[in-house]
Structure 1
Amino acid sequence: MNERDENWDDLRHLLSVARHGSLSAAARAMGVNHSTVLRRMTALEKSMGVRLFDKLPGGYVLTAAGDELHRVALKMEEDLAAAARLLSGRDTQIRGSLRVTTIDILTLYVLPRHLAAFRRLHPALRVDVMTAEASLSLTRREADVAIRATAKPPENLIGRAVSGLAFAVYGSVAYLDGAERAGKPSDDPDRHDWVGLDDSFNYTMMAQWVERNVPPDRIGLRVNSVTAVVEAVRAGYGLGLLPCGIADPSPDFRRLGPVVSDGDSRIWLLTHADLRHMGRVRAFMDFMADAFVKDRDLLEGRCGG
Structure 2
Amino acid sequence: MNTQAQDWDDLRLFLAVARAGSLSGAARVLGVTHSTVFRRIGAFEQRMGVRLFDRLPGGYALTAAGEEMRDSVTCIEEEVAALALKVTGQDQRPSGMIRITATDLLAVGVLPRHIAAFRAEWPGIEIEVVVADTVLDLTRREADVALRLGNPGQETLVGRRVGRLAFAIYAAPGLHARGLSDPADGDWISYGAAHGPLSRSLARWWPQMRQVYRTNSIIAAHAAAQAGIGVAALPCVVADCDPALIRAAALPEDFMLDLWVLTHEDLRHTARIRIFVDFMAAALAADADLLEGRCPCKAIPAGA
TM-score (norm 1): 0.91
CA deviation profile, 1:116-171 (whole Å, cap 9, x unmatched)? 11111111221000011111111111100001001243111000000112111111
- Displacement over 6 Å in runs of 4+: none
How far is the alpha carbon of 1:65 from its aligned partner? 1.6
> SS of the residue aligned with 2:39?
helix
Alignment length (residue pairs): 296
Counterpart-to-counterpart distance in 2, 1:282 and 1:198: 37
CA contact (8 A) 1:146 1:269 kept: yes
Q: What's the % identity of the aligned pairs?
A: 46
How far is the alpha carbon of 1:217 from its aligned partner? 6.4
CA contact (8 A) 1:85 1:274 kept: yes
How far is the alpha carbon of 1:51 from its aligned partner? 2.0
- Aligned partner of 1:22 in structure 2 is 22
- Aligned partner of 1:254 in structure 2 is 246
Counterpart-to-counterpart distance in 2, 1:300 and 1:61: 49
- Aligned partner of 2:148 in structure 1 is 148
- Aligned partner of 1:51 in structure 2 is 51
How far is the alpha carbon of 1:55 from its aligned partner? 3.1
- Aligned partner of 1:214 in structure 2 is 206
CA deviation profile, 1:19-78 (whole Å, cap 9, x unmatched)? 223212222222222222112211221233322223334432222221111111111111
Q: 1:73 to 1:98 in 2, by over 3 A?
A: same
Structure 1 residue aligned with 2:192, among 180, 198, 202? 198
> SS of the residue aligned with 1:275?
coil
Counterpart-to-counterpart distance in 1, 2:243 and 2:230: 16
CA contact (8 A) 1:189 1:215 kept: no
- Aligned partner of 1:40 in structure 2 is 40
- Aligned partner of 1:62 in structure 2 is 62
Counterpart-to-counterpart distance in 2, 1:262 and 1:62: 46
Structure 2 residue aligned with 1:233, among 225, 243, 247? 225
How far is the alpha carbon of 1:14 from its aligned partner? 0.9
How far is the alpha carbon of 1:272 from its aligned partner? 0.6
Counterpart-to-counterpart distance in 2, 1:285 and 1:128: 15
- Aligned partner of 2:284 in structure 1 is 292
Counterpart-to-counterpart distance in 2, 1:58 and 1:245: 45
Q: 1:247 to 1:44 in 2, by over 3 A?
A: same
CA deviation profile, 1:65-99 (whole Å, cap 9, x unmatched)? 21111111111111111111111111111222110
CA contact (8 A) 2:152 2:260 kept: no
Deviating more after overlay: 30-39 vs 51-60: 51-60
CA deviation profile, 1:220-273 (whole Å, cap 9, x unmatched)? 01112111111111111111111111111222222233345435x311110011
CA contact (8 A) 1:89 1:276 kept: yes
CA contact (8 A) 2:171 2:246 kept: yes
- Aligned partner of 1:95 in structure 2 is 95
Alignment of 1:73-84 (within 5 A): 73-84=73-84
CA RMSD of aligned residues (A): 1.8
> SS of the residue aligned with 2:204?
helix
- Aligned partner of 2:183 in structure 1 is 189
Counterpart-to-counterpart distance in 2, 1:169 and 1:39: 53
TM-score (norm 2): 0.91
